[in-house]
Structure 1
């Protein structure tokens, strides 16, 4: 495809007229040509592309990039804009700080790895477990039944499992339940009070079948989840993650409490929350305002303005990175693709800004990483697949 044909196809996409096959073809063409793609400003309105990008991926992937002023800057920004546009189709785009543009040999992939999906296990108070349907997206807990969020039944109306779960839910007392996603899994949950929870990969939420007459609505989280809490000023909603507690009356917020992360991060999008921590004889309390993020590490809480695009990308089906280092990127990919990551030498010190669709196969992600000089390969081991990152 020559430059005029590329220009015409990109413009066709901008007008929403490209077919599915043309979008896929355009993606493949870009991955091959992106290392030396150059389009003059008069050929394509990049401001329009920028606007299209922001609206089409839920305003979570802007094109504002800080790159060192070099003779390559203008060229790279054009490439980045085109990459971002095609990222809507292919599922990814990356910006690399201090980048010079070169063609890079692709890594040999032993095999591809499919993205994660809707996977979770619901555990009842009696210890019975239910593997939830991967064709559904969420589960609803109410006082008398278990059902998916399309109102179809999770369990049959008769039989031992139905009788056991029914007795649990009909109990006037709050009984413990849990929802757990594996690596490569995500699921939604609506609690008995109407609160909505989105659970990220490799996470566990412990909650009560009903809150009964309890003064507080207490749940426990290990991993990451986004909450839209139903307001009830008489019954505060408490999220416990280790020694941290988040107390709310009704609000929207995200908690990242993975054990392999250095800190617990709580990000407030709407409303107000109070953080309370106790550990090693110390106590800390902070109140967050919308747009703020609290970081709890070393028994201390620090508060700063949140990068809400990066924080909320996973809920919208995206990885979003702003100045993220390689280990941060790899930890997220490891959880979603359920693959072990190993560094064969020194860990690259590159910082990345960009986005990756969580619906992309791992090979697509690795191809783009190659364009920014991160070489990888997938190997099969006795315990599973491993992603080797080379310096």
Structure 2
């Protein structure tokens, strides 16, 4: 690509005139340079290194064909580093974090001197039917347990995988996979169903449920399901006195104890939700919700699916979320306590941020719109 065209492209980006393809090209090259570094420089160091980074990106873009087909929206991995660079050249809207329709200020600020609070990790506890607990992050990849025709393996991708040995399973009992605050994990059940657990969640299942007429599990917290198809044996999820019935589909269930509403969001296939005498059937792109003290099921159509499964894909994503909703998510993922003093701020948030950042970087953006203090692992929200 000619240098004159590159300059025109960058100018169009800064003025908001880029096509999605052009926008993806610019952002992709910035992320390529920023995302590969574990180095987090100070603002003064950023100012001296910006020109070099900019020139490197220009050289990379020169190698691209004139028509770039990249359409995927990219977001920052290291916000503390990247936001300062983007702010320097006027790209502060890149994170798309808004409140009341206005973009948050994204100036790089001095990070708190408190010890950093890192993001959650792949970690969980497996509780066997005999009460034995196995902490999974302490185990290397390979066999976790083999007994009575059943093998449990920690796979290469870190997932827990159940397998049958020699075609026979004599061990029948409930296992529970649970995550604490700041933990996430995934499991592949005997029928091939995959379940991802968010922080502060648990999944209870019979080790040989495939031998019964139905496949049944119990969920607490939040889980994303990719259910193996089996038209003869429906898959049942029991959660908060509510039953979700499926045959083979992808869906997310959000059902934390500290949330007033349980939500089931369908991405593929179909699911049925029932509570008491009420029931509803969902189609892809729909979300069913029910309040704790009610049996009424409300179905929303054409929802933002990416927001519902952002956690599974490594993001926080907010769409007009209030302060309490945002802080509940942060509390679960960073294992912190949140205390409110006085009137709770009414500001709303919209945006998408990666979950692999230290808490301090997230709080720096919120600080422009809410007042808070940090005392160890407690965040105090003030009017």
TM-score, structure 1 length as denominator? 0.72
Asked if residue 307 in structure 1 is aligned to residue 304 in structure 2, the reply is yes
Asked if residue 56 in structure 1 is aligned to residue 74 in structure 2, the reply is yes
**1:349-368 paired onto structure 2 within 5 Å:** 349-368=346-365
Residue 150 of structure 1 and its aligned partner are, at CA, apart by 1.7
Residue 110 of structure 1 and its aligned partner are, at CA, apart by 3.2
Residue 96 of structure 1 and its aligned partner are, at CA, apart by 1.8
Question: Is the CA contact 1:178–1:204 (under 8 Å) kept in the aligned structure 2?
Answer: yes
The CA deviation string for residues 44-101 of structure 1, in whole angstroms up to 9 with x for no partner, is xxxxxxx97844359xxxxxxxxxxxxxxxxxxx99982354x5xxxxx521225487
Alignment partner of 1:83 out of 72, 88, 92: 92
* RMSD value, Cα: 4.0
Asked if residue 150 in structure 1 is aligned to residue 156 in structure 2, the reply is yes
DSSP 3-state at the match of 2:211 = coil
Residue 180 of structure 1 and its aligned partner are, at CA, apart by 0.2
Instruction: Measure, in 1, the Cα distance between the counterparts of 2:327 and 2:333.
Output: 10
CA distance 1:239–1:21, change in 2 (3 Å):
closer
CA distance 1:118–1:55, change in 2 (3 Å):
same
Alignment partner of 1:213 out of 211, 214, 218: 211
Give the match for residue 177 of structure 1: 175
Residue 109 of structure 1 and its aligned partner are, at CA, apart by 5.4
Give the match for residue 248 of structure 2: 250
Instruction: Measure, in 2, the Cα distance between the counterparts of 1:247 and 1:80.
Output: 51
Instruction: Measure, in 2, the Cα distance between the counterparts of 1:98 and 1:153.
Output: 40
What are structure 1's unaligned runs of at least 5 residues?
33-50, 59-77, 88-92, 155-165
What are structure 2's unaligned runs of at least 5 residues?
1-6, 15-24, 48-68, 77-86
Give the match for residue 376 of structure 1: 372
Give the match for residue 294 of structure 1: 288
The CA deviation string for residues 163-203 of structure 1, in whole angstroms up to 9 with x for no partner, is xxx99x96435310000001000001000110000000000
Residue 140 of structure 1 and its aligned partner are, at CA, apart by 9.2
Instruction: Measure, in 2, the Cα distance between the counterparts of 1:98 and 1:262.
Output: 26
DSSP 3-state at the match of 1:145 = strand
**1:176-325 paired onto structure 2 within 5 Å:** 176-278=174-276, 283-297=277-291, 298-305=294-301, 306-325=303-322
DSSP 3-state at the match of 1:235 = coil
Instruction: Measure, in 2, the Cα distance between the counterparts of 1:302 and 1:53.
Output: 34
CA distance 1:321–1:267, change in 2 (3 Å):
same
Give the match for residue 15 of structure 1: 29
Alignment partner of 1:126 out of 121, 126, 130: 130
Instruction: Measure, in 1, the Cα distance between the counterparts of 2:249 and 2:144.
Output: 20
Give the match for residue 62 of structure 1: none
TM-score, structure 2 length as denominator? 0.73
Instruction: Measure, in 2, the Cα distance between the counterparts of 1:218 and 1:326.
Output: 36
Instruction: Measure, in 2, the Cα distance between the counterparts of 1:97 and 1:202.
Output: 31
The CA deviation string for residues 117-167 of structure 1, in whole angstroms up to 9 with x for no partner, is 11100011111110002687999999521111228998xxxxxxxxxxx99
| Greater relative contact order (Cα < 8 A, sep 6+) | 1
